[in-house]
A and B are shown apart, each in its own frame.
Chain A
Amino acid sequence: MRHRRLPFIAGFLVLPLTLYAVLVLSPYAQAFYLALTDWRGVSARAEFVGADNFARLLDDPQVLGALKNNAVMLLVVPIATVVLALFLAAALSLGRRRGAGVYRVVYFFPQLLSVAVVGVLFQFVYTPNSGLLNGVLNLLGIEGRSWLGDPSLALWAVMAVVVWSAVGFYVVLFCAAMESIPREILEAAAIDGASALTRLIRVVLPLVWENVQVAFIYLGMAALDGFAIVQIMTVGPGGPDNATEVLGLTLYRNAFTYGKFGYASALGVALFFLTLALAVLVLRGSRRDRVEMA
């Protein structure tokens, strides 16, 4: 069994590893170097400028605006999504509701739509005159708005779409976690006189906490991105008036519109450290003792 072992191992690894090294590892490594240059895409002319790009990032109003918008998304999107998903999952899985499966199937739909479909769809849901949202509001006697045209509303409109498309996935995730909670624990809490809300917060939440953590990391990463939905849906894109500018969009524009590849790479490096910091923060800050289920 040992003969021709090494040739076999090498044969299985060589193609995937080459592909991975050339297209993934080397670009990631290059990005850290490019971030320290003023490279504009012409091969010979790349001056080493040290940390200049990073200093300029902090003076760039577009970067700062994008950073602010990403920060707002980082605060709003994960919390809104997790709270909604927890609530819906609890209502579905703890009440032994008939037809819960159907709800779950329907809630999951948006997860299957590509971000382009969602972006284009909601661009028209938000259209002032013939859009669905204002149509519904008119029916209720509320005056419609120009959702994506008003700088004070546009970012909220974008965040609502992100939440809309994410909730279903986490409902399914949380439902699976909640269904593995032994019924006796919940019944014991109910007999002790705990209200439904108390049971949810004091008993259920600690038992599904690991899944909530995972949700926060994934949603946080989605909130730091937001590129595709903003690029497709908003005016400009990133407008009106930079109201929906996100870091990914600033990076993309600096690289592929202005040709400032060194500067864009610096932005990429900054984005990497933000993502890393977020993951560490969530894992550290929300650490709790593992609850063992009997």
Chain B
Amino acid sequence: MTHSHRVRRPRPWTSLLHVALVGWGVIVTLPLVWAVMSSFKADRDILTSPWSLPDRLHGENWVRAWTEASIGRYFLNSAVVVGSAVVLTMLFGAMVAYVLARYRFPGSRLIYYLFIAGMAFPLFLALVPLFFVVRSLGLLGTPLGLILVYTAYALPFTVFFLTSFFRTLPTSVAEAAFLDGCSHSGVFFRVMLPMAKPGLISVGIFNFLGLWNQYLLPLALNPEESEFVLAQGLAVLAVRQGYASDWSGLFAGLTISMLPVLAAYVVFQRRITSGLTAGAVR
């Protein structure tokens, strides 16, 4: 009678577990929902009660945050800097990883370990000299400077991840392409890169969110307010709107900066989760 012990007795702890699961869900979502709701409220309603629903949808908060508080500009700055940095990281990372994974040449181990070593050091250690290197290159406070720095610091993990990925790909297709007279770089761009797409997407998502999240580097290297990225802009906005008590504008700014990411997540949920956890389970 294998069936008998599968009959479920009502167990008190299953419902307790359920309460815990729902409870954590509420703890996670409540602050987010509250921020979105407050972004539609008038200032006085925000101050009187955190619970009241908006009397009407105050869309003007969003307009004010986007234009007057420059959230729109910071958003675009972030998109340009992070977008370019991710593209450059993927290109450079894939080139290095491919060469290291598929070619034997003197010094290849050394180069590989130089990149791996970059993952062991805390960013804070490099911060002071980095500031002066970037300044002496004339790149301080420029988007190009941030793009190059972001790329350089995203390379170690990208190279590490993609090197092992390229090693897993079969060699036969590349060899056939060589026999057909394809050049080395032709094989890379036309054969290997398309084959490596799943790995590229995982590490690309990982890099995008990591760099979008970056706060220390722009704070130190990007002091010009017109060039601020979103993270800097939000932090400054929080201080400034606090003085101006434009709470609704602040919540609108917050909502504008979190909704696109959450929306993208809901759509590409599986890809994003596996891309991010790929960093931990290698």
Binding site for B on A (CB under 8 A): 1, 4-6, 8-9, 11-13, 15-17, 19-20, 22-28, 30-31, 34, 41, 84, 87-88, 91-92, 95, 97, 103-117, 119-125, 129-132, 135-136, 139, 164, 167-169, 172-173, 176-177, 191, 196, 211, 214-215, 218, 221, 224-225, 227-228, 231-232, 247-248, 251-252, 255-256, 261, 264-265, 267-269, 271-272, 275-276, 279
Contacts and interface: CB of A to CB of B under 8 A. Distances in A.
- How would you classify the secondary structure of chain A's contact residues: helix, strand, loop or mixed? helix
Most buried by A among B96, B124, B254, B269: B124
Contacts of B280: 173, 211, 214-215, 218
Interface in B121-135: 121-122, 124-134
Most buried by A among B17, B50, B95, B131: B50
Most buried by A among B114, B126, B237: B126
Contacts, number: 259
Contact of B125 (A125, A269, A279): A269
A87 B13 CA distance: 13
Contact of B276 (A17, A19, A111, A122): A111
B151 to A, nearest CB: 7
A121 B21 contact: no
Nearest to B231: A116
Contact of A25 (B114, B122, B273, B281): B114
Given A27-B133, A116-B215, A116-B234, A91 B20 contact: yes
A108 B31 contact: no
12 contacts: A1-B178, A16-B92, A28-B121, A112-B209, A112-B261, A116-B231, A117-B257, A132-B50, A228-B215, A232-B215, A256-B220, A268-B126
Instruction: Enumerate the 8 nearest inter-chain pairs by beta-carbon distance, A residue then B residue, closest first.
Output: A135-B50, A116-B231, A30-B129, A23-B152, A27-B129, A27-B126, A16-B92, A8-B184
B7 interface: no
B235 A120 contact: yes
Report the interface size class on chain B.
Answer: 35 or more
B74 to A, nearest CB: 10
Contacts of A247: 124
A43 to B, nearest CB: 9
A26 B118 CA distance: 11
Contacts of A110: 28
Nearest to B123: A225
Contacts of B114: 20, 25
Interface string B215-250: 110011000000000111011011000000001001
Contact of B130 (A9, A27, A122, A172): A27
A83 to B, nearest CB: 12
A27 B129 CA distance: 5
B133 A26 contact: yes
Given A28-B118, A196-B13, 13 more contacts: A8-B183, A9-B99, A9-B105, A28-B126, A112-B261, A115-B215, A116-B234, A121-B35, A168-B28, A177-B281, A252-B216, A256-B131, A276-B120
